[in-house]
Chains A and B, each alone.
Chain A
């Protein structure tokens, strides 16, 4: 007899996501994703000055702050066909890169590692000496010493015996689906603590360039507000730029020698998860880190791949290519909004309509986006497949290196197909982190060279003609393709829509009732213990869900951290 498992809420950050799965004979046969994506941004921005939209948009979410700011200024600049000084592009790109790396590191270690790593096993069963020998065999990482592992183990033991397990309280220890040897658990747990340090280092780059975190202050429609003056300490000086370089170098080693190696090792011990969790098969990404004024040349390529075949890549080469702009639509057939329409974001409306008994069949607040009338997966996997297909050198190098590492640990050869899976999303995210780091270094050198040539320009003032202008700002954010859509009329905002990565991924069924990305990828996954559905978490977490509603009040009366019901 089939059972229905409801996991609510599943995301470890920001907002609400409910997953319902029908399980028959230990396997998921159908799934529904329900989200409470908050759609108030349109209402708040209507009638405002397009130049201040980014300041407000970056408050949508407490995690993805800079990405909404970026997409927002780009939307206005696209609408005005405004060119941006290259210094401003490089500075923005470094913020994009630093934010992405911090986010990737946090996502893997803090948000998803506990789906694969058994903390209790690391604390109680691992031999710290053996762990350090194994780690040193796998990687030259300087912080794989016996002493380091011993210290982590002591810390975990104290935590587990104190009764205050803090962030590990919701862990699925001893679950039958946990398969890492105790020593690998300990290596990953040790890097968990180190990850906190390295994300902080790379975040400091965002703070230096953006003036503040979590909410950056330095953007402007038309460029950035960072004055460059090599003699004035209040501006962006060589000293600051070299400090940024130092921080970047430290994080480079953590990504290459800890993060990538850990993901490869975990993948090698969970080979079945390199085939579970394949999604829709259509992959959408956009180019990132524009290297010229118009956005016609990028450090990282992007495009659209159909039916899982990287050979089908249709590249998106410039901000002026209408391919993206023309082919995105959103559908509300199964979402709690008035009507049953599939529309382009420029002409959408947001009229909530909710029936408590779901008599209209609508079951989510998330709309269902489509690309060329089909659902698509966005995220690091989509980005890596596109870059690989475009023969982007760093992407090809790091992907092949990753496959070789897994192959040498597991003893069986691996090919590109394993990327299209639950584990593959983690692999792709770590590969992309290495690519982003390289691209960031490129920005740093380009900026220093350009300043050296005497160009200090960072801002082109925008002018708003009368009449209507439409624009889309695209950004390949850590969680995937983000687009902000703006309609400007006589200098003020008439319509504004944000189509965010989690909308693409957490989407309910669309125009022809085809399931969304989570819904598709869950089908076929095993569930060993319906009361502790770790496997569902694994696949959903592999997408790095972030539902941007961000009500975060202190609640001293007590709400459950995560609710699992079996009915």
Chain B
């Protein structure tokens, strides 16, 4: 028998992915870092910096009933445009053939989880169009401004979940002044 890692009831995973060394490509990771500084996740919520999201993220993906992934998207649109892909829109083989070239990327990890019956029940991609992918640490001013918008969207999506899960899933910390400045974290 295959041993199944049962995910916990109402558990929510928030996974930010991207390459921190390629400018806006790291947007998902920057959002996670910002959330870690300024937000308190509920007891049923886990936040993770998935980096470039290889197979190592599988155990995180499997652990949650609801999974939200923050990523960049290759669309020929205004940089900073936010797209939400939910439910069936990102299902199965369609996306496997439409993902980027490296073959165990996020979608392949999801496929592997699906194959063993361990994929999250509910999955959404929150994505943004990048401005620059040039080598360098830090976001373009355009995307830097969008971090809050992305987290607003995430909070909205969380609020639509059944109450047991979505309630108080992600709350802004009250005492913002005591937070270390997020920008300094990467630039120091």
Residues of B within 8 A of A241 (CB): none
- Which parts of B109-160 form the interface with A (CB within 8 Å)? 111-112, 114-116, 125, 127, 130, 133, 135-137
When each residue 181-205 of chain A gets 1 if its CB lies under 8 Å from chain B and 0 otherwise, what string results?
0000000000001101101100110
Interface pair A197/B3, CB less than 8 Å apart: yes
Q: B79 contacts the other chain (Cβ, under 8 Å)?
A: no
Interface pair B19/A59, CB less than 8 Å apart: yes
Interface size class, chain B: 35 or more
Q: A40 contacts the other chain (Cβ, under 8 Å)?
A: yes
Interface pair B97/A561, CB less than 8 Å apart: yes
Residues of A within 8 A of B50 (CB): 214
Interface pair A553/B72, CB less than 8 Å apart: yes
Residues of A within 8 A of B55 (CB): 63, 106, 110, 199
Residues of B within 8 A of A14 (CB): 52, 54, 102
Interface pair A203/B112, CB less than 8 Å apart: no
Interface pair B104/A203, CB less than 8 Å apart: no
Main secondary structure of the interface of A (DSSP, over half): loop
Interface pair A62/B135, CB less than 8 Å apart: no
Residues of A within 8 A of B58 (CB): 196, 200
C-alpha gap A279/B116 in the complex (Å): 37
Q: B41 contacts the other chain (Cβ, under 8 Å)?
A: no
Q: A320 contacts the other chain (Cβ, under 8 Å)?
A: no
Residues of A within 8 A of B135 (CB): 38, 40, 43-44
Nearest CB of chain B from residue A171's CB, rounded to whole Å: 12
Interface size class, chain A: 35 or more
C-alpha gap A212/B108 in the complex (Å): 22
* Residue from A164, A203, A558 within 8 A of B56 (CB atoms): A203
* Residue from A15, A16, A40, A552 within 8 A of B53 (CB atoms): A552
Interface pair B22/A40, CB less than 8 Å apart: yes
C-alpha gap A110/B25 in the complex (Å): 26
Closest to B26 in A: A59
Q: A166 contacts the other chain (Cβ, under 8 Å)?
A: yes
Residues of B within 8 A of A106 (CB): 55, 104
Residues of B within 8 A of A63 (CB): 52, 54-56, 104
Interface pair B106/A552, CB less than 8 Å apart: yes
C-alpha gap A60/B26 in the complex (Å): 12
| A residues adjacent to B (C-beta < 8 A) | 9, 11-16, 38, 40-41, 43-44, 56, 59-63, 65, 102, 106, 110-111, 147-148, 151, 155, 159, 163-167, 169-170, 193-194, 196-197, 199-200, 203-204, 212-215, 550-562
User: Which 3 A-B pairs have CB atoms at the shortest separation, nearest pair first?
Assistant: A62-B52, A40-B135, A12-B103
Given A215-B49, A554-B73, 5 further pairs, Cβ under 8 A? A165-B93, A167-B108, A197-B3, A554-B85, A559-B99
